[in-house]
Amino acid sequence: MAASIDILEDRVDAVADLVQRLRREVARLERELAERQSVAPPLSPASKDCPPADEQLLEEISRLRAERAAVRERISGLIREIDQVSW
């Protein structure tokens, strides 16, 4: 049983590290996007197309958000496993 708890602890630590890296990456991308938007001239209302670089950033942010959701679900699963352990 102690081995199971050690494995769960390692997994939780790994997930926490991953969440921290993802948060830093999202923050970096959001800053970069904000900087590009402040430097770029505003788009005219007729032109709703984003420049390719901004579109790539938005796709990357979407991808990271999806990863974050998957990590949260994984953490929830680990917590459910921990809750099932009889102390």
Cα–Cα distance measured from residue 5 to residue 10, given in angstroms and rounded to the nearest whole number? 9
Taking phi first (over 0 means left), then psi (-120 to 50 degrees means alpha), and beta for anything else, what does residue 43 get?
Answer: beta
Q: What's the pTM value of the predicted model, to 2 decimals?
A: 0.46
> pLDDT truncated to tens, each residue of the chain (87 aa)?
788 888 888 888 988 899 899 999 999 998 988 888 888 666 555 555 555 668 888 888 999 999 999 999 999 988 888 888 776
CB 87 within 8 A of CB 2: no
Please give the biggest Cα pair distance in the chain: 64
Structure tokens at 86: 């009889």
Instruction: Report residue 45: phi and psi, to 5°.
Output: -60, -30
For residue 8, give the amino acid letter. Answer: L
